């Protein structure tokens, strides 16, 4: 249930409403917008049935939230969630670009890539220190050493770091080096992991599972948000279907659906969606046209030598070309690739 307050509500009135709701055993979450403040009520809403909320000073309206995901629902927030990311806000007017290699393969390679993507206009650097691989014999990442390398890349480039956490036992260590914790597609419904990252004060980038519905994705986000971490980024990265021409099937329709259903920022991963280097640009354009708040693109100095996902990685020249072309698509969609906090 959400309580919509009057524009003139005072802090004392707001506190009294929250205290009354919480006295019945529910939790409250306050979302402040430009014109309205919304109080979300979390818990057994049946306890509120006999509470005369509309008669309380400062209350304008009361609405039930029928969706199974409460905190993630669009109604629950007075404004869209924005997450600072270098010199843009993810979820704001600018399309944010997260770029870097699939996995950390060495310090020189990572530093070169961080410098290159920064110069091309990227707003964050991605790289996997821990890599979940289908085969146990494939390269699994540099682990702790990889985290140290990512920290050095941040210090040199100034870009915030996005890297994956795969296990609850890794969270503290990864959070000590990363600015954004990524939950990969394979772990989207690892509820113990979602719960624990929800207790960490780091934004969480949540990738859609290979066979997950939009509802499944939003309920996974709810696990994180229920612990108090409201900074969740949703990522459409393609789903597994009967089609074999691409690595995954890019569900571009999921982007506007998510933008309608939730206040959380939505990005796309065109690299994993297509699995082929030549598809990265057209899928990126489609994602921006559909309303994506950002993109996560794999970039490697020598894709043919990459230890993972080389077929879908762009080299530096290809990434620079993509960024130039993206500017036109962003402008056509009423967005920018700018470097400021545009209002």
Is the separation of the CB atoms in 48 and 28 below 8 Å?
no
Tokens of 25: 């055993």
Mean pLDDT, rounded, of the chain: 92
Tokens of 327: 């500017």
* Nearest CA-CA partner of 232 in 33, 101, 71, 3: 71
Parallel/antiparallel/unpaired status of strands 83-85 and 88-90: antiparallel
Q: Domain 2-64, what fold?
A: Alpha-Beta Plaits (3.30.70)
Domain definitions of the chain by residue range: 2-64, 83-332
Is the separation of the CB atoms in 221 and 77 below 8 Å?
no
d(CA 246, CA 273): 8
11 CB-contact burial (10 Å; exposed 0-12 / middle 13-18 / buried 19+):
exposed
CA distance readout (Å), 92 to 36, 95, 226, 320, 342 = 19, 8, 24, 23, 8
Q: Which of 42-46, 69-73, 290-294 has the lowest mean pLDDT?
A: 42-46
CA distance readout (Å), 126 to 29, 120, 123, 129 = 31, 15, 10, 10
In CATH, what class is 83-332? alpha beta
Average of pLDDT values for 305-334?
A: 95
Please tell me if the domain spanning 2-64 has the same topology as the one spanning 83-332: no
* Nearest CA-CA partner of 124 in 157, 160, 92, 90: 160
Tokens of 306: 């990459």
Please spell the DSSP secondary structure of 189-232, one letter per residue: T-HHHHHHHTTSSS-EEEEPPTT--HHHHHHHHHHHHTTT---E
d(CA 280, CA 312): 7
* Nearest CA-CA partner of 231 in 209, 202, 263, 206: 202
Tokens of 136: 């146990």
Q: Check whether 198 has a pLDDT greater than 60.
A: yes
Sign of CA dihedral 67, 72, 76, 77: negative
Q: Check whether 340 has a pLDDT greater than 60.
A: no
pLDDT band at 137 (very low <50, low <70, confident <90, very high): low
Tokens of 270: 């065109």
Q: Check whether 104 has a pLDDT greater than 90.
A: yes
Average of pLDDT values for 104-133?
A: 93
Average of pLDDT values for 199-216?
A: 96
Distance of CA 164 to the CA centre of its chain: 12
pLDDT reported for residue 133: 67
Q: Check whether 160 has a pLDDT greater than 70.
A: yes
pLDDT band at 140 (very low <50, low <70, confident <90, very high): low
Which residues on adjacent β-strands are paired with residue 235?
207, 267
Q: Check whether 343 has a pLDDT greater than 60.
A: no
Q: What is the pTM for the complete model shown?
A: 0.88
Q: Using DSSP, state whether 70 is helix, strand or coil.
A: coil
Q: Check whether 309 has a pLDDT greater than 60.
A: yes
pLDDT reported for residue 136: 73
d(CA 51, CA 25): 13
Helix (H), strand (E), coil (C) string for 288-303: HHHCCCEEEEEECCCH
d(CA 161, CA 23): 41
Question: For residue range 47-85, what is the model confidence (pLDDT) as tens digits?
Answer: 888 888 899 999 999 988 878 898 999 988 888 999 998
């Amino acid at each position: 249930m959400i309580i919509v307050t009057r524009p003139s509500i005072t802090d004392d009135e707001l506190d009294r409403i929250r205290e009354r709701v919480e006295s019945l055993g529910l939790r409250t979450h306050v979302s402040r917008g430009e014109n309205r403040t919304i109080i979300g009520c979390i818990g057994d809403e049946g306890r509120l049935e006999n509470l005369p909320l509309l008669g309380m000073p400062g209350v304008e309206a009361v609405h039930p939230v029928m969706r199974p995901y409460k905190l993630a629902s669009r109604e629950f927030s007075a404004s869209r969630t924005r997450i600072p990311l270098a010199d843009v806000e993810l979820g704001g007017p600018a399309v944010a670009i997260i770029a870097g290699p699939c996995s950390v393969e060495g310090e020189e390679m990572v530093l070169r890539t961080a410098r290159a993507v920064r110069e091309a206009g990227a707003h964050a650097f991605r790289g996997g220190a821990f890599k979940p691989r289908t085969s146990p014999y494939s390269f699994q990442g540099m682990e702790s050493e990889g985290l140290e390398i990512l920290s050095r890349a941040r210090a040199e480039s100034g870009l915030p770091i996005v890297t994956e956490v795969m296990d609850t036992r890794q969270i503290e260590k990864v959070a000590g080096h990363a600015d954004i914790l990524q939950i990969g597609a394979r772990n989207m419904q690892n509820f113990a992991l979602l719960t624990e990252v929800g207790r960490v004060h780091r934004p969480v980038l949540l990738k859609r599972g290979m066979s997950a519905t939009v509802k499944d994705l939003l309920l996974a986000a709810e696990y994180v948000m229920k612990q108090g971490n409201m900074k969740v980024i949703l990522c459409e990265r393609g789903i597994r279907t009967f089609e074999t021409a691409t690595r995954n099937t890019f569900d571009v329709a999921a982007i506007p659906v998510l933008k309608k259903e939730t206040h959380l920022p939505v990005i796309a991963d065109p690299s994993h969606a297509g699995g082929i280097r030549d598809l990265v640009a057209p899928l990126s354009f489609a994602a921006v046209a559909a309303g994506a708040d950002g993109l996560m693109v794999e970039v490697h100095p020598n894709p043919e030598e990459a230890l993972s996902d080389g077929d879908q990685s762009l080299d530096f020249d290809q990434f620079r070309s993509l960024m130039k072309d993206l500017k036109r698509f962003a402008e056509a969609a009423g967005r920018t690739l700018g470097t400021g906090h545009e209002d």
